């Protein structure tokens, strides 16, 4: 090897080594189940969190950071792929059929590993995806940056469970015997909640847990400093979705989606941030952007298959941040409770679209109702002891909701029907429809059908059925018309040869409630001719909700005919809804007549146990 070639290789090796040395370490400190509303750094009603506040002094506070889903597995699946959940069918909590990644798609830490990073996750994953082998060097409760090679850059995730929903599953005896540091008599209770001793205590106890969580954040920061890494490490602190007090986690309100986010960017890497240390920004950032941002900070090209856009790193400027002015949300099945809700927020205006508005928010969810506050809230509603704002959680929803979340932070004053707000309503409706069509949103097929037909290659399925989905969105949007205008179109669609056109026509008909009684004969005819089991369910649901008929025997027979557990869950969702909120009709279900593949599902068992009570 001649001298010039040797010199060339040495220079290039030196340049490569320097480049590697300049790659920042990146740490995510993630607290479970807390929105920004309970921390003083973000909200006047929150508690002090000195360690997070300390991080903010030489970091960036993002005042408009959002999870795209309001529950952990759907939120974390969005984070790890930097791709919207409804596009990938990763947004059902927890997946009854996990998605397979194909065509070069991968979880974003895999790209870091390929670029020489050590990747460690301590320890929660909770992905609705079959995890490839190339994602983590270590994902366990022992995972740490200390196990990497000397000088190797690292990406490290540390999950804090202290604020998880399960912490509020205390008993009345525990409540009476455990005193909180936060004073329950003076703690803030949001206006849609009753101001009872249980709600006050739950608020105080939860804030205590946030204070405890903050100490754990401080421990991670202190360990980085002790190891001499703090000045070489970009640190994200954020909550993994909204809070755990009733009507937050699991719902697309701000308390379910709006998360705290603080990012510490050391002086050494200030060129990677368009914002100065110690500043706050109102730019919108969402979980779909987080993975893309980490790759950009590491100097790795963001794969085109990702939906996320970087908000830090190379080529990000204040202008690019200013353009980030919207966030999208999605909610479908959480445990055994089904619904289909989408949202978009731009600036201070929030639009929520309820595609099945007859589904009541307060519908039984076994895990959620372990919380005393949920139990008491429901009991007070049944006793007629709640005011209008407190009662809404247990009542039929409008198809569209529109809020000014600055003036109305708890989304109580729906502006959708007011003449002065029609311009905003139409603009936001269009924005949401365009987003759903562009993915496309796979939820316009029921979950059990996606498990059977889409999860092996959801992107290809979406591409193949994009035109169909656009059509189903158009049908679903008949809900926002006056009934007289929608009725003839619904009647025609009930006779369609496309089973999913009939499916959505039945949902739309039911969404009009008593207004749609004139469709009763058409739906009865449709039911008599229907060959698709789930459409029989939607027709029976209409006849109960709109025509006030007792369809318990029909729905029971439909359940016996179900061949998958997720189809059965959708049927049982309707049964619980009708039992608790409409006909109050009893169900006599013989478990021996249910398909064996169905009856072994834990969520199915929970629904059956509840119905039997």
Backbone angles phi and psi of 584, in degrees to 5: 55, 30
- CB-based burial label for 271 (10 Å; 0-12, 13-18, 19+): exposed
- Alpha-carbon span 538 to 502, nearest angstrom: 9
**Joined tokens for residue 317:** 């400027």
Q: What is residue 557's predicted lDDT score, i.e. its pLDDT?
A: 98
| pLDDT over threshold 90, residue 590 | yes
| pLDDT over threshold 50, residue 10 | no
Q: What is residue 346's predicted lDDT score, i.e. its pLDDT?
A: 98
| Residue keyed to tokens 């895999």 | 110
Residues in the chain: 613
Reported as a single tens digit per residue, the pLDDT across 422-436 is 999 999 999 999 999
Q: Which helix (H) or strand (E) holds 510?
A: helix 499-511
| pLDDT over threshold 90, residue 211 | yes
Q: What is residue 103's predicted lDDT score, i.e. its pLDDT?
A: 84
Reported as a single tens digit per residue, the pLDDT across 245-282 is 999 999 999 999 999 999 999 999 999 999 999 999 99
pLDDT band at 8 (very low <50, low <70, confident <90, very high): very low
User: Residue range 313-338: average pLDDT?
Assistant: 96
- Alpha-carbon span 577 to 579, nearest angstrom: 6
**Joined tokens for residue 553:** 């025997």
- Alpha-carbon span 125 to 369, nearest angstrom: 24
- Alpha-carbon span 169 to 368, nearest angstrom: 9
pLDDT band at 12 (very low <50, low <70, confident <90, very high): very low
Taking alpha carbons only, the member of 235, 316, 311 closest to residue 271 is 316
Q: What is the mean pLDDT of the chain?
A: 95
Reported as a single tens digit per residue, the pLDDT across 26-68 is 999 999 999 999 999 999 999 999 999 999 998 999 999 999 9
Reported as a single tens digit per residue, the pLDDT across 180-203 is 999 999 999 999 999 999 999 999
Dihedral angle, C-alpha 131, 133, 138, 140, nearest 10 °:
40
Strand order in the sheet with 25-31: 138-139, 118-122, 154-160, 25-31, 233-239, 261-264, 59-62, 279-281
587 SS3 class = coil
How large a percentage of the chain has pLDDT more than 90? 95
Taking alpha carbons only, the member of 184, 171, 187, 70 closest to residue 373 is 171
Backbone angles phi and psi of 124, in degrees to 5: -70, 135
| Position with higher pLDDT, 154 vs 4 | 154
Q: What is residue 571's predicted lDDT score, i.e. its pLDDT?
A: 98
For every residue of 229-284, which 3-state class applies, written as one string? CHHHEEEEEEECCCCCCCCCCCCCCHHHHEECEEEECCHHHHHHCCCCCCEEECCC
- Alpha-carbon span 329 to 335, nearest angstrom: 18
pLDDT band at 18 (very low <50, low <70, confident <90, very high): very low
- Alpha-carbon span 542 to 531, nearest angstrom: 17
Query: CB–CB of 200/187 below 8 Å?
Result: yes
Query: CB–CB of 258/39 below 8 Å?
Result: no
User: Residue range 567-590: average pLDDT?
Assistant: 96
User: Residue range 512-524: average pLDDT?
Assistant: 98
DSSP 8-class letter at 355: S
| pLDDT over threshold 90, residue 15 | no
Q: What is residue 2's predicted lDDT score, i.e. its pLDDT?
A: 52
Reported as a single tens digit per residue, the pLDDT across 435-481 is 999 999 999 999 999 999 999 999 999 999 999 999 999 999 999 99
Query: Burial letters for 72-104: b for 16+ Cβ neighbours within 10 Å, e otherwise?
Result: bbbbbbbbbbbbbbbbbbbbbbbbbbbbebeee
Q: What is residue 33's predicted lDDT score, i.e. its pLDDT?
A: 97
User: Residue range 594-605: average pLDDT?
Assistant: 96
User: Residue range 578-593: average pLDDT?
Assistant: 94
Apex 96 CA angle, 94 and 99, nearest 5: 90
Reported as a single tens digit per residue, the pLDDT across 456-467 is 999 999 999 999
| Position with higher pLDDT, 519 vs 5 | 519
Q: Please list the alpha-helical segments (H only) found in 102-196.
A: 108-114, 172-177
Q: Which residues contact 174 (CB under 8 A, 6 or more apart)?
A: none
How many CB atoms lie under 10 A from the CB of residue 130? 13
Q: Which residues contact 167 (CB under 8 A, 6 or more apart)?
A: 205, 206, 209, 244
Bridge partners of residue 352, in order along the sequence: 343, 401
Reported as a single tens digit per residue, the pLDDT across 95-145 is 999 999 998 899 999 999 999 999 999 999 999 999 999 999 999 999 999
Taking alpha carbons only, the member of 310, 293, 286 closest to residue 70 is 286
The bridge status of strand 258-259 relative to strand 65-66 is antiparallel
Dihedral angle, C-alpha 111, 450, 239, 133, nearest 10 °:
-30
365 SS3 class = coil
Bridge partners of residue 258, in order along the sequence: 66
Q: Which residues contact 268 (CB under 8 A, 6 or more apart)?
A: 24, 231, 232
């Amino acid at each position: 090897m001649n001298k010039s070639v040797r010199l060339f290789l040495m220079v290039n090796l030196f340049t490569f080594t320097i480049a590697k040395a300049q790659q920042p370490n990146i740490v995510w400190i993630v607290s479970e189940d807390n929105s920004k509303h309970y921390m003083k750094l973000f909200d006047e009603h929150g508690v002090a969190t000195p360690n997070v506040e300390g991080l903010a002094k030489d970091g960036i506070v993002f005042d408009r950071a959002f999870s795209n889903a309001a529950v952990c597995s759907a939120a974390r699946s969005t984070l790890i792929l930097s791709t919207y959940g409804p596009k990938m069918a990763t947004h059902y909590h927890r997946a009854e059929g996990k998605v397979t990644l194909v065509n070069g798609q991968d979880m974003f830490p895999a790209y870091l590993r390929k670029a020489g990073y050590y990747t460690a996750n301590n320890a929660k994953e909770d992905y609705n995806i079959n995890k490839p082998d190339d994602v983590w060097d270590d994902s366990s409760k022992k995972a740490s940056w200390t196990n990497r090679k000397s000088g190797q850059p690292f990406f490290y995730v540390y999950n804090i469970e202290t604020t998880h929903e399960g912490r509020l599953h205390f008993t009345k005896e525990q409540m009476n015997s455990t005193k909180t540091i936060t004073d329950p008599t003076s703690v803030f209770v949001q206006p849609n909640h009753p101001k009872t001793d249980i709600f006050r205590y739950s608020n105080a106890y939860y804030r205590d847990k946030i204070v405890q969580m903050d100490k754990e954040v401080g421990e991670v920061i202190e360990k980085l400093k002790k190891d001499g890494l703090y000045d070489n490490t970009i640190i994200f602190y954020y909550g993994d979705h909204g809070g755990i007090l009733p009507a937050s986690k699991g719902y697309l309100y701000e308390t379910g989606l709006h998360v705290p986010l603080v990012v510490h960017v050391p002086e050494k890497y200030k060129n990677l941030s368009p914002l100065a240390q110690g500043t706050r920004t109102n730019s919108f950032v969402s979980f779909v952007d987080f993975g893309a941002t980490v790759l950009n900070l590491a100097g790795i090209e963001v794969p085109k298959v990702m939906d996320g856009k970087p908000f830090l790193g190379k080529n990000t400027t204040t202008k690019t941040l200013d353009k980030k002015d919207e966030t999208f949300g999605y909610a479908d099945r959480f445990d055994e409770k089904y619904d289909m809700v989408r949202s978009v927020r731009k600036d201070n205006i929030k639009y929520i679209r309820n595609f099945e508005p007859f589904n009541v928010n307060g519908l039984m969810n076994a895990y959620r109702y372990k919380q005393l506050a949920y139990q008491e809230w429901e009991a007070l509603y049944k006793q007629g002891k709640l005011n209008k704002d407190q009662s809404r959680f247990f009542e039929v929803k409008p198809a569209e909701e529109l809020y000014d979340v600055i003036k109305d932070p708890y989304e109580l004053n729906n502006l959708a029907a007011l003449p002065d707000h029609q311009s905003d309503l139409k603009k936001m409706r269009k924005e949401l429809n365009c987003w759903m069509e562009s993915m496309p949103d796979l939820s316009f097929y029921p979950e059990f059908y996606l498990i059977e037909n889409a999860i092996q290659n959801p992107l290809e399925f979406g591409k193949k059925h994009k035109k169909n989905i656009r059509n189903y969105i158009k049908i679903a949007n008949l809900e926002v018309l006056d009934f007289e205008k929608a009725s003839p179109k619904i009647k025609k669609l009930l006779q369609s040869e496309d089973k999913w056109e009939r499916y959505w026509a039945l949902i739309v008909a039911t969404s009009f409630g008593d207004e749609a009684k004139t469709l009763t004969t058409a739906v009865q005819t449709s039911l008599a001719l229907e060959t698709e089991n789930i459409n029989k369910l939607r027709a029976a649901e209409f006849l109960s909700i709109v025509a006030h008929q007792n369809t318990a025997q029909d729905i029971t027979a439909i359940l016996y005919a179900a061949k998958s557990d997720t189809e059965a869950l959708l049927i049982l969702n309707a049964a619980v809804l009708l039992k608790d909120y409409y006909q109050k009709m009893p169900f006599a279900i013989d478990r021996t007549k249910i398909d064996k593949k169905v009856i072994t599902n834990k969520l199915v068992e929970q629904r059956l146990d509840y119905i039997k009570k």
